[in-house]
Amino acid sequence: MNGRIATLMVHTSPLDQPGIGDAGGMNIYVTESAERMAAMGVSVDIFTRRTNKDVADVVEISPGVRVRQLNVGPVDGVTKERLPELIGELSKEFARVLSEDPYDLIHSHYWISGKVAMPAAEKLHIPLVHTMHTMARVKNLNLAEGETPEPMIRVQGETQVVEAATGLIANTDAEAASLVSLYSACPDNVHVVSPGVDLYTFTPGSGRAAARKEVGLAQDALVITFVGRIQPHKGPELLIRATSEMIKHSPQLRPKLVVNIIGGASGASTTEVERLKELVIWLGISDVVQFAPPVPRAHLPQWYRAADLVCVPSYSESFGLVALEAQACGTPVVATAVGGLRTAVADGISGVLVDGHDPRAWSSVLARLIQEPQRRVLLSLGAIEHASHFGWDATARGTLDIYDRVLSDVRDARKTSGS
């Protein structure tokens, strides 16, 4: 298709660095797929709420892709949890902009954006495509210990967005099934497009030795790395407790074992990093576990390459971009057997999937892999091969196919109704 797409992502900006605050895999997804779609001839404007007074109203991030700021609410201090209070104002401003500057289709990301987009789509008769990324009902079925359930306002909002959207895009078949079974989505409106990985940036590169030299890790270290936002749902505490178990049962690993936890506090969990640091001290493993702030994306491949294993112990995950990025760099992944991680990791081929969140079970899997270099070599080869099937170009093509289908269905419906 050729045309103009209004992409909406209000709770985090594509200009923010993933791993800080609410910025994460969705930022990467939206930006990467927009850039690939633009390369295929489609103009994409990404609308977001202004959270930085120093950024221009319109920022071109690559040819054919612009970020447009919606000037609604306070610039600072609005968390994702408080953002629903601004949905009404955001929706009016979004509709105002689109009434003056027409687009062919709206694609909203995450439920708050869906709620903002709904009135504009209805008022201006523009088809609405929506991607959930994560769903409250799925998260609430898989909560970490002590984690606060997602609020009913989100459950209700997601249900309304599912009903209003002309098309829904799921990351995996499992997510598509959840939309139908948990939200009563019409199966004909649900389409599956897998997210991708930047196969030009995330590569095996010059190998582990060079990467370790660059990031300052010993060549003979046994390195396990976690990358992501530091929040209970991502499971960093599980990795810490599994590390403690591993040292208890395999004390010979301790002198060379390094566990990196790379990321920043997320949303309302501003004290989570400090809590985990205190836990590490209490468990007596400060010599093994080290924390690092979020790493710029340009440097992230070296951290993946430097690791023997990358750990993704999430409680639910719509896809798991970290798992794909690590595998594209040739590093096997140990991940929870939930949601999209079952697609992102080929169990026994590119990594290992673990059922549940028992630190002893995770300890057993990690200790066995860390002591089997030959098996890690085979998994590394499988990781590169598996990740090679998930490029962003395929994501963009799949998304454009759905746009075409939705626009065609809308045109046919208008002809039939005579409008």
End-to-end CA gap in the chain: 23
- The first and second tokens of residue 228, run together, are 């992501």
Q: Which residues does 125 contact at the CB level (< 8 Å), separation at least 6?
A: none
CA–CA dist 62, 21 (Å, integer): 24
- The count of other CB atoms within 10 Å of the CB of residue 333 is 29
Collect the ranges in the chain with pLDDT lower than 70.
Answer: 1, 17-24, 266-270, 418-419
Quote the pLDDT of residue 289: 97
Q: Which residues does 72 contact at the CB level (< 8 Å), separation at least 6?
A: 49, 50, 86, 89, 90, 93
Per the CB < 8 A criterion, the answer to whether 340 and 322 are in contact is no
Quote the pLDDT of residue 268: 52
pTM: 0.86
Q: Facing residues of 65 across strands? A: 44, 62
pLDDT digits (tens, 9 = 90+) for 191-250: 999 999 999 999 999 999 999 999 999 999 999 999 998 989 899 999 999 999 999 999
Phi, psi for 275 (deg, rounded to 5): -60, -45
Quote the pLDDT of residue 22: 56
Per the CB < 8 A criterion, the answer to whether 116 and 164 are in contact is no
Q: Which residues does 107 contact at the CB level (< 8 Å), separation at least 6?
A: 5, 6, 7, 8, 128, 129, 130, 131, 399, 403
Q: Are strands 105-109 and 128-131 parallel, antiparallel or unpaired?
A: parallel
Quote the pLDDT of residue 142: 87
DSSP E strand boundaries for 163-308 = 167-170, 190-192, 222-227, 257-262, 289-292
C-alpha gyration radius of the chain: 22
The domains located in the chain, with CATH, are: 4-196+392-417 (3.40.50.2000), 208-387 (3.40.50.2000)
Eight-class DSSP state of 58: E
